[in-house]
Amino acid sequence: MSDNHTPRLPTYFISHGGGPWPWMKKEMGTAYSQLEAALADMPRQIGRTPRAILMVSAHWEAPAFTLQASPKPPMIYDYGGFPAHTYQVHYDAPGSPELARRVQQLIAAAGLPAALDAERGFDHGAFSPMAAIYPQADVPMVQLSLKRGLDPAEHLALGRALAPLRDEDVLIVGSGLSYHNLRNFGPQAHDVSKAFDDWLDQTVVQGAPGERAARLNDWSSAPSARIAHPREEHLIPLMVAVGAAESEAGVRVYHEDAFMGGLVVSSFRFGPAQA
CATH domain 11-270 topology: Protocatechuate 4,5-dioxygenase; Chain B (3.40.830)
Q: Is the pLDDT of residue 92 over 70?
A: yes
The answer to whether residues 272 and 43 touch, using CB atoms and an 8 Å cutoff, is no
CB atoms near residue 268 (< 10 Å): 26
Helix (H, G, I), strand (E, B) or coil at 247: coil
The string of DSSP codes covering 138-175 is -S-EEEEEEETT--HHHHHHHHHHHGGGGGGTEEEEEE
At residue 186, the pLDDT reads 79
In the beta sheet, which residues pair with residue 39? none
Mean pLDDT of 54-68: 98
**According to the model, what pLDDT value does residue 193 have?**
95
Average pLDDT over residues 141-166: 98
Evaluate whether 140 touches 52 at the Cβ level (below 8 Å): yes
pLDDT at 1 over 60: no
- At residue 2 the predicted structure's pLDDT band, cuts being 50, 70 and 90, is very low
Closest CA to 177 of 14, 12, 40: 14
Q: Which residue, among 171, 226, 188, 175, has the nearest Cα to 17 in the 3D structure?
A: 175
Q: Is 260 helix (H, G, I), strand (E, B) or coil?
A: coil
- Asked if residues 210 and 247 have their Cβ atoms less than 8 Å apart, the reply is yes
Contact 216, 161 (CB under 8 A): no
- What whole-number distance in Å separates Cα of residue 198 and Cα of residue 186? 18
Cβ(51)–Cβ(141) below 8 Å: no
Residue 160 predicted with pLDDT over 50: yes
Confidence class for position 5, pLDDT limits 50, 70, 90? low
Residue 3's pLDDT is 47
Q: Is the pLDDT of residue 185 over 50?
A: yes
Q: What is the pLDDT of residues 229-262, one digit of tens each?
A: 999 999 999 999 999 999 999 999 999 998 888 9
Would the pTM of this model clear 0.75, i.e. be above it? Answer: yes
pLDDT (tens digit per residue) in 62-85: 999 999 999 999 999 999 999 999
Q: Which long-range contacts (CB under 8 A, 24 or more apart) does 204-210 make?
A: 204/238, 204/242, 204/250, 204/268, 204/270, 205/249, 205/250, 205/251, 205/252, 205/268, 209/246, 209/247, 209/248, 209/249, 209/250, 210/247
pLDDT band at residue 126 using 50, 70 and 90 as cut-offs: very high
